[in-house]
């Protein structure tokens, strides 16, 4: 097989937030540092019988997916930290939409969207005097699935 071309790094990736899934005014790429997508598993089971040497396998429904977004911590009134923390701490939690675009904001690139979802975990920055790294915080959302679309004009 001929070696593939078109491999990419996350150098131009983008992360965006929306309150309603249609207006994507909050581009968090300036603070976004990492998107970690958990396993997209399907339930499965195995049972053995006295006869035969191998298991009987059955499969079930698709399990929810945990997605963790890491951001650089800053304290501006409209910065990612305050925006997302307020959404998490609102009574009952506020439903949000998140999306990430691995190849960046140009036509033809894949867009991954989740929502409406609620932040299921908010991790404040670790304050370590022995580190010179920027402070980071993380949010985790639990989504039933990830919707893939393609960026168009």
By the rule CB under 8 A, 28 interacts with other proteins:
no
**Buried b or exposed e, range 27-47, using 16+ CB within 10 angstroms:** ebbebbeebeeeeeeeeeeee
Mask of contacts with other proteins, 62-101, x by CB under 8 A? Answer: ----------------------------------------
CB of 140 to other proteins, least distance (A): 23
CB of 40 to other proteins, least distance (A): 18
Give the one residue of 2, 3, 23, 78 binding other proteins; rule: CB under 8 A.
23
Nearest partner of 102 among 7, 5, 9, judged by Cα: 9
Of 8 and 56, nearer to other proteins (C-beta) is 8
**Stretch near other proteins under the rule CB under 8 A, chosen from 42-50, 52-60, 108-116, 125-133:** 108-116
Secondary structure letter of residue 98 according to DSSP: E
Strand-pairing partners, residue 136, are 72
CA 105 – CA 107 distance, rounded (Å): 7
């Amino acid at each position: 097989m001929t070696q593939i071309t078109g491999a990419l790094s996350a150098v131009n990736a983008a992360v965006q937030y929306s309150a309603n899934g249609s207006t994507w005014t909050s581009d968090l790429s300036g603070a976004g540092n990492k998107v970690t997508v958990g396993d997209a598993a399907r339930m499965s089971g195995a049972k053995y019988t006295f006869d035969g040497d191998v298991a009987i396998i059955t499969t079930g429904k698709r399990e929810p997916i945990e997605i963790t977004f890491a951001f650089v911590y800053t304290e501006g009134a409209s910065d990612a930290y305050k925006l997302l923390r307020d959404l998490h701490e609102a009574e009952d939690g506020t439903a949000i939409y998140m999306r990430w675009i691995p190849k960046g904001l140009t036509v033809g690139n894949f867009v991954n969207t989740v929502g409406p979802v609620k932040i299921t975990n908010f991790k404040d920055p670790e304050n370590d005097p022995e580190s010179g790294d920027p402070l980071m915080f993380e949010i985790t959302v639990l989504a039933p699935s990830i919707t893939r679309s393609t960026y168009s004009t």
